[in-house]
Structure 1
Amino acid sequence: MPQVIISAKNLTQKVELPHQTLTILNEINLDICSGEQVAITGRSGSGKSTLLGILATLDRASAGELWLCGQAVHELNEEQRAKLRLQSVGFIFQSFQLLSHLSALENVLLPLRLQKKFNYATASAKAHTMLERVGLSAQIEQMPKVLSGGEQQRVAIARALISEPQIIYADEPTGNLDRQTAKEIEQLLFDLNQEMGVTLVVVTHDLNLAAQCQKHYQLQEGQLVAALKNKERVE
């Protein structure tokens, strides 16, 4: 049986406003197994990125329980959560979030620098290999400002994978890219999911990308609704 790697139980997120309480997420229940590809779609403002941030331990829910890689996230303090993120989670942002004063190689090295046993030679070799894997062997020393949008996203993907996480969360990973480049990035994510066995959770407006995932949920009025399951990839 596939192992459940992410388990959300009655996750709720509320925001207190001056004259009302706004419910963004309403008792969400979700199980994701190791190695799965899962897409979450929904209209703008539906809470997709909020949910992703909570699942990635970047934010805390107002109520509910979250289990990640066997750990009860809702019982951890911030230091413990940060350690779990460093060990088990990679995050890909729509806006890439590369540091402009660092080269592609240096950006990819960042997560490894946070580890206690950091060895530059070993880490650099690993970063070179990862950048080559995402097709950037010729751009290793280049700065983000001279890279195209697709190349910057490839650097971001390499950075997310350098620590060999069990889960990759991607927030609109193709949202700032042209259609052809977006298709290349989508294929790269699916290839890496298959080759490395990493679990892939994607928030997207792109229904074509969502349809290629093994599971597709829509976020409607604070709740998840299963949209597509086990659908074959579309070319």
Structure 2
Amino acid sequence: MPQPIIVAQQLSQKVQLKSQDLTILDAINLEIQVGEQVAITGRSGSGKSTLLGVLASLDRATQGELWLCGQAVHLLNEEQRAKLRLQNIGFIFQSFQLLPHLSALENVLLPLRLQANFHYAHALQHAKEMLQRVGLLAHAQQLPKVMSGGEQQRVAIARALVTTPKIIFADEPTGNLDRQTAAEIEQLLFRLNQEMGVTLVIVTHDLNLAAQCQRHYELVQGQLYAVNPQQDLSG
């Protein structure tokens, strides 16, 4: 039986306004298995990025429980959550979030510098291998400003994967790309999912991308609905 790598129970996220409380996420239950590809869609402002941030332990839910890789995230302090993220999670941003003064290679190398067992020569070789894996080793010394959007996103993917995470969270990974480049990035993500066994959780507006995932959910008024219930493995 597949083992769940993400388990969310009754996750809620509420924001206090002057006049009332705004509910962004409303008692969400979700299980994601090791190696799965899961897409989450929804209208702009529906809370997709908020949900992704909570599932990735970047933000705390106001209510509910969350387990990642067998650890009870809701019981961890910030230092423990940061360690969990460093060891198990990669995050891909829509806006790439590359440091402009660092080369492609230096950007990919950065997460490895945060690890307790950092060894420069080994880390450098691994970063080069990841750039080669995304087809950008020849651009290793280029700064982000001279790279295309697709190339920058490939660097961001290499950076997210360089620590060999168990889960990749991707927030609109093709949102700033043209259709052809977006298709190339999609193929790359799925190929790496297969080759490395990494679990893939994608927030996207792209219904074509969502349809390629094993499971597809839509976030509506703070609740998740399976778009293809027959494919829903969460019970």
Compute the TM-score of the two structures, normalised by the length of structure 2: 0.97
- Residue in 1 that maps onto 2:211: 211
Cα RMSD of the aligned pairs, angstroms, is 0.8
Distance in 1 between residues matched to 2:58 and 2:157, nearest whole Å: 18
1:83 is matched with 83
Distance 2:8 2:137 in 1: 39
Any unmatched runs of 5+ in structure 1?
none
Tell me if 1:170 matches 2:156.
no
Aligned partners of 1:186 and 1:23: how far apart in 2? Answer: 32
Residues 174 and 186 in structure 1, CA contact (< 8 A), matched pair in contact too: yes
Is 2:144 the partner of 1:144?
yes
Q: 2:105 is matched with which residue?
A: 105
Residues of 2 paired with 1:60 and 1:8: CA distance? 12
1:22-67 residue CA offsets vs partner (Å, 9 max, x unmatched) = 0000000000000000000000000000000000000000000000
- Paired with 1:205 and 1:64, the residues of 2 have a C-alpha distance of 26
Question: What residue ranges of structure 2 are gaps of 5+ in the alignment?
Answer: none
Measure the CA separation in 1 of the matches of 2:185 and 2:146. 19
The answer as to 2:196 corresponding to 1:200 is no
Give distance in 1, aligned partners of 2:60 and 2:78: 10
Match in the other structure for 2:37: 37
Give me the whole-angstrom Cα distance separating, in 2, the residues matched to 1:45 and 1:70: 31
Identity of aligned residues (%): 76
* Counterpart position of 2:96: 96
CA displacement 1:138-167 (0-9 Å, x = unmatched): 101100000000000000000000000000
1:56/1:82 CA distance change after superposition, 3 Å = same
Displacement of 1:117 in angstroms is 1.4
Instruction: Report the secondary structure of 1:192's partner residue.
Output: helix
1:229 Cα deviation after fit: 5.5
> Is the 8 Å Cα contact of residues 26 and 223 (structure 1) preserved in structure 2?
yes
Q: Distance in 1 between matches of 2:157 and 2:228?
A: 26
2:75 maps to a residue whose letter is: E
Distance of 2:192 and 2:83 partners within structure 1: 24
**2:9 counterpart SS class:** strand
* Misfit runs of 4+, over 6 Å: none
Normalising to structure 1: TM-score of the pair? 0.97
Which position in structure 2 is the counterpart of 1:12?
12
Q: Structure 1 residues 229 and 153 mapped into 2: Cα distance closer, same or farther (>3 Å)?
A: farther
Contact 1:213 1:230 in 2 (8 A): no
Question: In the TM superposition, what are the counterparts of 1:47-126 in structure 2 within 5 Å?
Answer: 47-126=47-126
Residue 101 of structure 1 aligns to which amino acid in structure 2? H
- Taking the aligned partners of 1:7 and 1:72, their CA distance within structure 2 comes to 9
Amino acid at match of 2:84: L
Shift of 1:228: 2.3
Q: Counterparts of 1:89 and 1:229 in 2: how far apart (Å)?
A: 27
Q: Match of 1:32, as an amino acid? A: I
- Whole-angstrom CA distance in 2 between matches of 1:230 and 1:153: 33
Partner-residue secondary structure (3-state), 1:138? helix
